[in-house]
Amino acid sequence: MREKAGASDKTVSGTGTKAAGLASATGAADPAEMAKVFSEVARRSGALLEEYMKKHTAGVGTGGSGAPGDELGVAKAFMDLWANLPANPWSVAETQAKMFWDYTALWGNTWMRMLGQPVEPVAAPRKGDNRFRDDDRQNHFLFDYLKQSYLIAGRHIHAAVSNAEGLPEDTRRKVDFYTRQYIDALSPSNFALTNPNVLRETAQSGGQNLVKGLNNLLADMERGEGELRISMTDENAFKLGVNVATTPGKVVFQDDLAQLIQYEPMTKDVFRRPLLIMPPWINKYYILDLREKNSFIRWAVEQGHTVFVVSWVNPDKKHAQKSFEDYMLEGPLAMLDAIERATGEKEVNVIGYCLGGTLLASTLAYMAAKGDKRIASATFFVSLLDFSSPGELGVFIDEQQIAGLEKRMNERGFLEGSEMATTFNMLRANDLIWSFVINNYLLGKEPFPFDLLYWNSDSTRMPARMHSFYLRNMYMKNALKDPGGITLAGVPIDLARADVPAYFISTVEDHIAPWKSSYKGAKVLGKGDKTRFVLGGSGHIAGVVNPPVAEKYGYWTNPELAPTPEEWQEKAEWHKGSWWPDWQAWIGALNGEERVPARKPGDGKLKIIEDAPGSYATVRLGAARKK
């Protein structure tokens, strides 16, 4: 795939060179060059269309798997909506009347603005909505009218479906989610003729932006082998170990599922207890080691921890039968054994991030049943243990969708990383989809080099057996929170037995692990008297990767675990800046004053295998597919 992407880049570059000659200094297009460019576009488009038709029409009309269906259940959900709307005609009529009066007010305001009179908007974007920041949206009455007209329509369409009576809760959530996707897609900012910034660029460049944008679109289609894979950043601007994932360390152990990285010390002495960080196996570990100034790993090393990090493999077909149980046995349990060999220490502090935290809790319960007390403390970064309220991810979790997903996974042996990335991107479509459509395809610009988005595009696969177990037992059955709800390696898992000091950090804007759901998990683990819950600002990534030097977001603390998250929040105290020092104070108190000479990778019984970030982390999806 990398080789194929390279060839594609050459094609795009060549077409881009032609595009550069399309306009003269006066903005006039060269007809001959224009004809060449569109001939090349037609050739590439035809090849992509042929490949797409081969993929998506195989078996149609013959009983094959290519027959169109409603795997996501969207059509059925909206059919249920249309069937229930007439049940409350007064609500529909009220929505129509309110929409009529809003448009009447907008017409009046627009005439007043045309006459130079200041007026208050009928509809304004919500806080944080960056789609309408362009000055012309505010100052030019026509674009302001389009913006407000769209906002009024979107508000009332959403209200109409939200107020429908008689819908099951899962159907209501699905209708609500996909209605918002539809409304977001129709934003005037997403179309060339109604986006003033695009119109300006088109006039100034003589239309070069649209030709370049078409080339960008075709390149992304080629990169996705017929599927649209939107470029979010310049992937050639980054290289692991060079300008991301640069904290010095060595791989000192590996098995079939993971490598263990030990980092070079940065202090003369260190805490006796080592620190193991266990990230999720969705994406790569280096979200915690992007750059020196925002690397949690580097910061933890500087605080005097001997830091070990799990770097999970990017699985392929041979890992298809790897289970959640295997991830426990070959992940944290194997790593605890390795750390003891490397340092001589039996007790370890462990951090689990997101899915890594779910695995950590499961491992704690397993070890408690076995009388294994090697984990001295557990820290959970935005992790779910109670899945009763999974947020908008619940839209994608039902029997029909999981059965369809399992069918695809069993054919390939894994869930493709791009499929999961698309799901997460849809949760924040305006930021993670439509903003790039505007930049890349309408403005014809190249994506900006951004380390976080480079990491975000470095998604990984999920083994079929493991992922099916995870979706069915955690999300659908919510069985992890129940004593004996799941069994791993022959041991019934009871989170209440995992009675170790625990630190939970959740974030107030998290759309993947909603903080109130994470709070429920904190109540389930152990007896609760050894648990500290902290609520950070921002979301699932930025709220965690929030170094003290940034002085951003803030966080809330309350030493008491109240019965409900609302009660906890009511009495919580707000603090300025990063929560990292709060965690360090907590873990430092548990570690005590005892220090030992700094440990270097290779000093113990484990020999150095290779330099960090290691070979498991450097395999990207394209390279894995090519193999």
Rg (CA), the chain: 27
pLDDT digits (tens, 9 = 90+) for 474-489: 999 999 999 999 999 9
354 is catalytic: yes
Does one domain contain both 339 and 481? Answer: yes
- Rounded CA gap, 227 and 212, in Å? 19
Q: Is residue 19 part of a domain?
A: no
Lowest-confidence region among 2-11, 71-80, 204-213, 532-541: 2-11
Contact assessment for residue 614 and residue 251, using Cβ atoms and an 8 Å cutoff:
yes
What pLDDT score was predicted for residue 330? 98
Does one domain contain both 207 and 254? Answer: no
What percent of the chain clears pLDDT 90, i.e. is strictly above it? 64
pLDDT digits (tens, 9 = 90+) for 299-330: 999 999 999 999 999 999 999 999 999 999 99
What pLDDT score was predicted for residue 62? 40
What pLDDT score was predicted for residue 381? 98
Q: Which of 178, 208, 223 is the last residue of a domain?
A: 223
Comparing CA positions, the residue from 112, 106, 92, 85 lying closest to residue 152 is 106
What pLDDT score was predicted for residue 89? 74
Does one domain contain both 88 and 189? Answer: yes
Comparing CA positions, the residue from 414, 418, 406, 460 lying closest to residue 319 is 414
Active-site residue, from 160, 354, 395, 587: 354
What pLDDT score was predicted for residue 163? 78
User: pTM of this prediction?
Assistant: 0.87
pLDDT digits (tens, 9 = 90+) for 203-235: 999 889 998 998 899 888 888 777 788 999 998
Tokens 């109409």 sit at which residue? 160
Does one domain contain both 279 and 215? Answer: no
Q: Is residue 407 part of a domain?
A: no
Whether the per-residue pLDDT at 622 is higher than 60: the answer is no
Whether the per-residue pLDDT at 3 is higher than 80: the answer is no
Whether the per-residue pLDDT at 8 is higher than 50: the answer is no
What pLDDT score was predicted for residue 159? 87
Beta bridge partners of residue 280, listed in sequence order: none
Comparing CA positions, the residue from 287, 170, 231, 606 lying closest to residue 440 is 231
User: Both tokens of residue 98?
Assistant: 């309110």
- Rounded CA gap, 593 and 183, in Å? 57
What pLDDT score was predicted for residue 33? 61
Structural domain including 172 reads 74-223
Q: Is residue 21 part of a domain?
A: no
What percent of the chain clears pLDDT 70, i.e. is strictly above it? 87
Q: Is residue 276 part of a domain?
A: yes
What pLDDT score was predicted for residue 49? 59
What pLDDT score was predicted for residue 553? 94
Beta bridge partners of residue 462, listed in sequence order: 415
Question: What is the SS3 assignment for 79?
Answer: helix
Whether the per-residue pLDDT at 54 is higher than 70: the answer is no
Does one domain contain both 145 and 264? Answer: no
Does one domain contain both 282 and 396? Answer: yes
Q: Is residue 231 part of a domain?
A: no
What pLDDT score was predicted for residue 289? 97
In 179-284 the beta strands, taken as DSSP E runs, fall at 249-254, 258-263, 269-271, 275-278
Comparing CA positions, the residue from 616, 612, 224 lying closest to residue 417 is 224
Tell me if the bond preceding 613 is cis, omega within 30° of 0: yes
Q: Is residue 431 part of a domain?
A: no
Provide mean pLDDT across the span 451-472: 94
Does one domain contain both 112 and 254? Answer: no
Q: Which residue has the higher pLDDT, 55 or 120?
A: 120
Does one domain contain both 541 and 595? Answer: yes
- Rounded CA gap, 605 and 607, in Å? 6
- Rounded CA gap, 511 and 180, in Å? 15
Phi/psi at 329 (5° precision): -70, -40
What pLDDT score was predicted for residue 71? 74
Question: What is the SS3 assignment for 250?
Answer: strand
Instruction: Tell me the pLDDT of the chain averaged across its residues.
Output: 87
User: Length of the chain in residues, anyone?
Assistant: 627
Q: Which residue has the higher pLDDT, 15 or 620?
A: 620
Whether the per-residue pLDDT at 36 is higher than 80: the answer is no
Phi/psi at 513 (5° precision): -125, 80
pLDDT digits (tens, 9 = 90+) for 559-595: 999 999 999 999 999 999 999 999 999 999 999 988 9
Contact assessment for residue 568 and residue 528, using Cβ atoms and an 8 Å cutoff:
no
pLDDT digits (tens, 9 = 90+) for 115-171: 888 888 899 998 888 888 877 667 788 888 999 999 999 999 988 888 788 888 888
Tokens 């975000």 sit at which residue? 456
- Rounded CA gap, 152 and 516, in Å? 31
Tokens 């002495």 sit at which residue? 269
What pLDDT score was predicted for residue 183? 94
Q: Is residue 83 part of a domain?
A: yes
What pLDDT score was predicted for residue 285? 97
Whether the per-residue pLDDT at 624 is higher than 70: the answer is no
Does one domain contain both 94 and 155? Answer: yes
What pLDDT score was predicted for residue 43? 65
pLDDT digits (tens, 9 = 90+) for 262-299: 999 999 999 999 999 999 998 899 999 999 999 999 99
Question: What is the SS3 assignment for 130?
Answer: coil
Whether the per-residue pLDDT at 39 is higher than 70: the answer is no
Does one domain contain both 201 and 296? Answer: no
Count other Cβ atoms within 10 Å, centred on residue 299.
Answer: 24
Does one domain contain both 186 and 264? Answer: no
pLDDT digits (tens, 9 = 90+) for 90-119: 777 888 898 999 989 999 988 888 888 888
Per the structure, how many domains does the chain have?
2
- Rounded CA gap, 359 and 362, in Å? 5
Cα four-point dihedral sign 532, 534, 540, 542: negative
What pLDDT score was predicted for residue 18? 43
Does one domain contain both 92 and 187? Answer: yes
Question: What is the SS3 assignment for 101?
Answer: helix
Q: Is residue 55 part of a domain?
A: no
Q: Which residue has the higher pLDDT, 377 or 63?
A: 377
Question: For residue 306, what is the domain's CATH number?
Answer: 3.40.50.1820
What pLDDT score was predicted for residue 252? 98
Count other Cβ atoms within 10 Å, centred on residue 484.
Answer: 10
